[in-house]
Amino acid sequence: MSRLLNPLSSLGAPLFASFARSGFPGRKLAQALLLSAAVFLLLGAGDPATRFTELGHQLMCICGCNQILLECNHVGCPASDGMRNELMASLTRGDSDSLVEQGFVQKYGPTVLAAPTTKGFDRAAYIMPFAALFLGFGLIVLVIRSWKNRPSPAIADGLTPVRGAELEQFRDQARKETDL
Amino acid sequence: MAEIGSFALLLALALSVYSFVAGIIALAFQNRTSLQLASATAGRGALPASLEESPLITTIRQASERIGETARRAGIATFAAVLLASVVLVICAFRDDFSIAYILHHSNRALPGPYKFAVLWSGQEGSLLFWSLLLAAYGFVLRLRYKTDPRLFAYASVVLSGVQIFFLLLLNFAAHPFAIVQGTIPAEGNGLNPLLQYPEMVIHPPMLYLGYVGFTIPFAFALGALIMKYPGEKWIHITRRWTMVTWAFLTCGVFLGAHWAYSVLGWGGYWGWDPVENASLMPWLTGTAFLHSVMMQEKRGMLKMWNMWLVFATFWLAILGTFLTRSGIISSVHAFAQSSIGDWFAWFLAITLVVFLFFFFKNKSHLRSEHKLESLVSRESSFLFNNLLFVLLCFTVLWGTWFPKISELVQGNKVTVGAPFYNRVAIPVALLLLILTAVGPLLAWRKTSLESLKRNFMWPTIGAIVVAIFLMITPQSWGSAFGLKPWQDVSYFYSLMAIALSVLVTLTVASEFYRGGRVISKHTGQGMFASMVQLTHRNTRRYGGYIVHFGVVVVIIGFAGAAFNQDKEMEMKNGDKMTIGPYTLICRSSTEDDTPDHYSQWAILDVFKGGKQIDTMTPERRFYHASQQTSTMPDIRSTLNEDLYVVFEGLNQDNGHPILKAHLNALVMWIWMGVWIMLIGTVLALIPNAPAPVRVPAPARLERAQATPVATGD
């Protein structure tokens, strides 16, 4: 166990040092995370069996069962066996992923793809959720700002508002005694 | 019998209309007398005794109270009438009364008893009747509990009656469950859809409908509170409990549906992102967002408008889901036969939207928030981001569901929006949500110091990183989730992230229990476990909520297992072997059977692991005589690590050998365990808190005479 923890501590120390300095993980940390995510996303095995599985899960069976091609499970399906053979033939020929998909779209129409493409209007399918995320994020930041800038409620005459460490102390006490 | 059922439905409609109209009249008169008294009070400073006892006002008030009471009783009687209609339909199913078209199309003589009962919700007309029955039952409970707050309950009752009228109009004029067969009555029915002949189908639809219909109650309270400009937050307290119960039913319904799909459909998965599945997920997402944001309103008086919208959206999405399945506007494997009732739903959706918008804009000044935010690093902020992500997930699902239709309108051709789309878009958002689930409980209301956040967050983070590294360096032979190499495939990367973040959430939840338990243990001298039990009992909502969070992460770990699934298909004659993962399947024989209900074929497979026989599996395929439909009955061997899932796909027509497909589905059992934990947490959260002895020493510097605050606060 200690063997496991040692490399972690050397890796974790700068991470938490940066956390402590800036409050939240800093820009370098974000860049490192983005870079590792990109590396993970771009790396991938390219052997035919893996490609067959991956592409087979990007295509739909067109028999009307509404299932992913490799998940269509009825014996005697008029479409799936032929489509799987076509897919395997394309991969054996060495066609690229996009060429395989284009071939299927030309033959069976755009509904053969299990997800919208990233071209033309189809792009909107992917853009909208992330646009909504950024819009929502921006809105929340604005809301938080406006709420932070609201004036504090009035205090009755004769009472001194409690601030700083004393306020934190009372809050801690209140949390302990009411939240348990 | 059909006449009794038809009469009961008509009577129910008449009673609902009465309850609605009389309820409105009673409330209108009560408002008028209240207004008169209020204006008199305002004009004269104090209410004179003569006016307070004015015979006219007293008479009007008494009359309106009596009318209101008759409206309430009519609402209760509606339940009796709808119950009668439902009982009649079930009796007709048991009596094989094929003179009723609904029974003819959904039952047959050999259908087992429990499924004859389930006929009530197996078709369009019956399921609408069942919806109406559940709505009436919820209304019945609500109207019996009216003394909690008679005025608010009277408003909620009127809203409920309005919704009930819609369903009863549908039942009486568009989808009549007691419609009579014209001409000769067939001696045998068409039978129940074989996919529905599974024990879970007897409970899945009721649970789902209890969830869908149940969201009408929070909506009724919210709209009532909005119309009457309800003072204070009591309606939120009342609504929250109803919402939690409803949410638990919907959770149960959604996952029972997933389990049914997994056990019956035979494709090896539990969620296909079909529009009907999406329809059940959308109100669940907004309902979950509401259960979080409602705390902001209770504790800080914030998000009043937002909560109103969330309650409305949840109700509206539940109806929209029904519209999607009934209208045929979006193609789905689940969809009921296309019919004109889609138009009815479209109108109902439009009317409810207009009514809500009208009252929202009319009375929105009443919903203004009172409080200010002190810090970005606070529980309030985490709830805002939590709501953003839940609503965004809901929007993504809605967008994905409608996109084929939008694409058809814009570019003239339909596209498919299936699992790959949702995996790309929804998984990153769900992972962000998981991070918030870990961080949120560690944040205090109003303000959290970064120092305390770091202190509380460091050990769970280290724990999660250790687990992630452990999963990467362990050998794959240990099990599905071990030896994970995230650089090999993006799905492995997502799985590793999901598992690591789940560990992070689990550790933060555990640390919350530990810290609280330690404080109680120190004060009482009890053991740690007893202290944690006491801790939970003192604040059931908070700690029940944590248990729900723990259940969610267990479910997420189950979902993460999907990245390691394998499958293999093979034609197997007697003695043939198939190897998948650590299992070897040997076909011992294949056989067939014929019963009055169905003809079946199945294979007998011996299962070996590590050279030792551990089980015998019998996947089956049935052909139902009455419906002339085929159904698979996969055999599933579940362990904590993986499910061995074997499907009998059929016989090779040339040589008669069975074709079998085996799936090795990793960590699926975690999903079902997680759901149980979520439900246990919800039940705990519904239990009232135990009183806790609290000592609060008064601050010495405040004089008693000065201690009368006028500032708003919690």
ipTM, two decimals, is: 0.78
Residue A171 lies in a domain: no
Instruction: List the beta bridge partners of residue B605.
Output: B587, B617
Confidence (pLDDT) at B53: 56
B599 shares its domain with B625? yes
Contact B659 A75 (CB under 8 A): yes
Share of chain B above pLDDT 90, in %: 38
Euclidean distance between CA atoms B13 and B704, whole angstroms: 61
Q: Which residue of A has its CA nearest to B485?
A: A40
A96 touches chain B (CB under 8 A): no
Å from A83 to nearest chain B CA? Answer: 16
Does the pLDDT at position B562 exceed 70? Answer: yes
Average pLDDT for B42-53: 52
Contact B162, B81 (CB under 8 A): no
Q: Which of A60-64, B290-294, B661-665 has the lowest mean pLDDT?
A: A60-64
Residues A70 and A105 in one domain: yes
Interface touch A73/B269, C-beta < 8 Å: no
Which domain, by its residues, includes A53?
A: 48-115
Considering only CB atoms, B269 lies closest to which of A43, A71, A113, namely: A71
pLDDT tens-digit profile of A35-46? 555 444 444 446
Residue B2: the pLDDT is 82
Are B581 and B714 spatial neighbours (Cβ–Cβ below 8 Å)?
Answer: no
Residue contact A73–B647, C-beta within 8 A? yes
User: Among A24-28, B301-305, B360-364, which is the least confidently predicted range?
Assistant: A24-28
Question: Dihedral (C-alpha) B601, A56, B399, B329: value to the nearest 10 degrees?
Answer: -50
- For residue B407, is it within any domain? no
**pLDDT for B300:** 77
Average pLDDT of chain A is 71
* A11 pLDDT more than 80: no
The answer to whether residue B588 scores a pLDDT higher than 70 is yes
Domain boundary among B99, B119, B145: B145
Is residue A76 domain-shared with residue A135, that is, in the same domain? Answer: no
Residue A54: inside a domain: yes
Q: Does residue B454 sit in the same domain as residue B576?
A: no
Radius of gyration of chain B (CA): 29
Kindly indicate the confidence band of residue B586, based on its pLDDT and cuts at 50, 70 and 90. very high
The reported pLDDT for the residue numbered A3 is 31
In a domain, B12, yes or no: yes
CA B380 and chain centroid, separation = 25
- Rounded to an integer, what distance in angstroms lies between the CA atom of residue B566 and that of residue A173? 54
Same domain for A67 and A122, yes or no, is no
In a domain, B204, yes or no: no
Residue A94 lies in a domain: yes
Looking at the fold, whether B542 and B684 belong to one and the same domain comes out as yes
Residue owning tokens 């000769």? B184
Asked whether residue B246 carries a pLDDT value surpassing 90, the answer given is: yes
- Regarding whether B430 and B518 lie in a shared domain, the answer is yes
A25 found inside a domain: no
Nearest to B446 by CA among B306, B301, B300: B300
A55 plus A97 within the same structural domain: yes
Q: Which of B268, B371, B411 sits opposite A121 (nearest CB)?
A: B411
- Same domain? B120 vs B50: yes
CATH of the domain at A73: 1.10.8.640
If asked whether residues A62 and A83 sit together in one domain, one would say yes
- Same domain flag for B503 and B632: no
Same domain, A104 and A130: no
Determine the pLDDT at residue B337.
53
Above 80 in pLDDT, residue B182? Answer: yes
Range of A6-20, B128-142, B197-211 with top mean pLDDT: B128-142
pTM of the model: 0.84
Residue B429 has its nearest CB partner, among A115, A133, A156, at A133
C-alpha–C-alpha distance, residues B409 and A100, integer Å: 27
Whether residue B636 sits in one domain with residue B499 = no
Per-range mean pLDDT, top range of B106-110, B151-155, B197-201, B313-317 = B313-317
pLDDT over 70 (residue B642)? yes
Chain A residues within 8 A of B403 when measuring between CB atoms? 116, 125
Q: Using a CB-CB distance cutoff of 8 angstroms, which residues of chain A are in contact with residue B371? A: 147
- Look over chain B and give the mean of its residue pLDDT values, rounded to a whole number: 85
Residues 6+ apart with CB under 8 A from B113: B94
CB A70 within 8 A of CB A55: no
Q: Which of A102-106, B33-37, B45-49, B559-563 has the lowest average pLDDT? A: B45-49
Domain assignment present for A155: no
* Chain A residues 116-135 within an 8 A CB cutoff of chain B: 116-117, 120-122, 125-126, 128-130, 132-133
Which of the four pLDDT bands, split at 50, 70 and 90, describes residue A20? very low
Number of domains in chain A: 2
The residue from B93, B118, B145 where one domain ends is: B145
* Alpha carbon of A10: minimum distance to chain B alpha carbons (Å): 12
Among B415, B466, B707, the residue with its CB nearest the CB of A8 is B466
Task: Pick the range with the lowest mean pLDDT from A63-77, B42-56, B63-77, B555-569.
Answer: B42-56
Regarding predicted confidence, which is higher, B396 or B236? B396
Q: How far is residue B533's CA from residue B546's CA, in Å, rounded to a whole number?
A: 13
- Answer left, alpha or beta for residue B122, where phi above 0 means left and psi between -120 and 50 means alpha: alpha
Return the pLDDT at B504.
93
Is B293 a member of any domain? no
Least confident window among A138-142, B596-600, B637-641: B596-600
User: Searching chain A, which residue's CA lies closest to the CA of residue B461?
Assistant: A12
Q: Is the same domain home to B523 and B649?
A: no
Which candidate, B668, B678, B687, B684, places its Cα nearest to that of B284? B678
Q: For residue B475, name the pLDDT band (cuts at 50, 70, 90).
A: confident
In-domain check, residue B636: yes
First to last CA, chain B: 59
Gap between the Cα atoms of B537 and A161, Å rounded: 34
| Predicted pLDDT at A129 | 92
B600 φ, ψ (degrees, to nearest 5)? -135, 150
Which of A93, A115, A137 is where one domain is finished? A115
Nearest to A71 among B267, B384, B539 (CB): B267
User: How many domains are there within chain B?
Assistant: 3
The answer to whether the Cβ–Cβ distance between A116 and B407 falls below 8 Å is yes
**Is residue B182 in a domain?**
no
Residue A29 CB: number of other CB atoms within 10 A? Answer: 15
Instruction: Among B277, B278, B372, B696, pick the best mutation site for testing chain A contact (most A Cβ within 10 A).
Output: B372
What is the residue whose two structure tokens read 């053979």? A85
A161 to chain B, any CB pair closer than 8 A? The answer is no
- Give the residues across from B635 on adjacent strands: B646
Number of CB atoms found within 10 A of residue A82's CB = 11
Are residues B3 and B132 both part of a single domain?
yes
Task: Choose among B554, B562, B541: nearest CA to B491.
Answer: B562
- Chain B residues lying within 8 Å of A2, measured CB to CB: none
* B377 inside domain: no
CA distance B356 to chain A (A): 23
CB contact under 8 A, A179 and B542: yes
The answer on pLDDT for A158 being more than 50 is yes
Cβ separation A65–B713 shorter than 8 A: no
Chain B residues near residue A49 by CB distance under 8 angstroms: none
Cβ-based contacts of B295 with chain A (< 8 Å): none
Whether residue B558 is found in the same domain as residue B591:
no
Instruction: Flag whether pLDDT at A1 surpasses 50.
Output: no
CA of B417 vs chain A CAs: smallest distance (Å): 5
Interchain pair B711, A155: CB under 8 A: yes
Instruction: Give the confidence band of A156 by pLDDT, cuts at 50, 70, 90.
Output: low
The backbone torsions φ and ψ at residue B266, rounded to the nearest 5 degrees and listed phi first, read 75, 15
Strand partners, B637: B644
* Polymer length in residues for chain B: 714
Q: Which two tokens stand for residue B3?
A: 């006449």
Confidence class of residue B114 from pLDDT cuts 50, 70 and 90? Answer: confident
Say if the Cβ atoms of A180 and B490 lie within 8 Å.
no
Residue A41 to residue B493, Cβ atoms within 8 A: yes
For residues A122 and A110, membership in a common domain is answered with no
Q: Could you report the per-residue pLDDT of A81-97, keeping only the tens digit for each?
A: 888 888 888 888 888 88
Tell whether A165 lies on the interface with B, counting CB pairs under 8 A: no
Residue B311 lies in a domain: no
CB contact under 8 A, A115 and B429: no
Average pLDDT value for residue range B550-559: 94
**What is the predicted pLDDT for the residue at B702?**
47
Does A175 sit within 8 Å of B429, measured CB to CB? no
From A144's Cα to the closest Cα of chain B, the distance in A is 7
Residue A53 in domain: yes
| Same domain? B12 vs B134 | yes
Which structural domain range is residue B17 located in? 1-145
**Across the interface, do B331 and A66 touch by the CB < 8 Å criterion?**
yes
CB A104, CB A84: distance < 8 Å: no
Tokens of B657: 């050998």
Phi, psi of A178 (to 5 degrees): -110, -25
Q: Nearest CA to CA, how far is A9 from chain B (Å)?
A: 9
Tally Cβ neighbours within 10 Å of residue B305. Answer: 16
The closest CB to that of B421, out of A111, A115, A147, belongs to A115
Tell me which of B317 and B341 has the higher pLDDT.
B317
Partnered with residue B645 across adjacent β-strands are B636, B663
The confidence score (pLDDT) of residue B357 equals: 94
Answer yes or no: do B516 and B601 share one domain.
no
Which residues in chain A are closer than 8 Å to B298, comparing Cβ atoms? Answer: none
Q: Are B566 and A57 in contact (CB under 8 A)?
A: no
> What pLDDT was estimated at residue B657?
86
C-alpha–C-alpha distance, residues A128 and A88, integer Å: 34
Stretch B457-478: mean pLDDT, rounded?
88
pLDDT of residue B694: 54
Query: What is the domain-level CATH number for residue B570?
Result: 2.60.98
Q: Nearest 5°: CA angle at B498, between B497 and B502?
A: 115
- Top-confidence residue, B246 or A159: B246
Residue A12 pLDDT greater than 70, yes or no: no
Which of B145, B160, B189 is the last residue in one of the domains? B145
Sort out which chain A residues have CB atoms less than 8 A from B396's CB and list them. 129, 132
Q: Considering only CB atoms, which chain A residues are within 8 Å of B269?
A: 71
User: How far is the C-alpha of A57 from the C-alpha of B565, rounded, in Å?
Assistant: 13
Amino acid at site B362: K
List the beta bridge partners of residue B598.
Answer: B624
Write down how long chain A is. 180
Chain A residues whose CB is inside 8 A of the B632 CB are 73
Q: Same domain, yes or no, for A124 and A92?
A: no
CB pairs under 8 A between A and B: 193
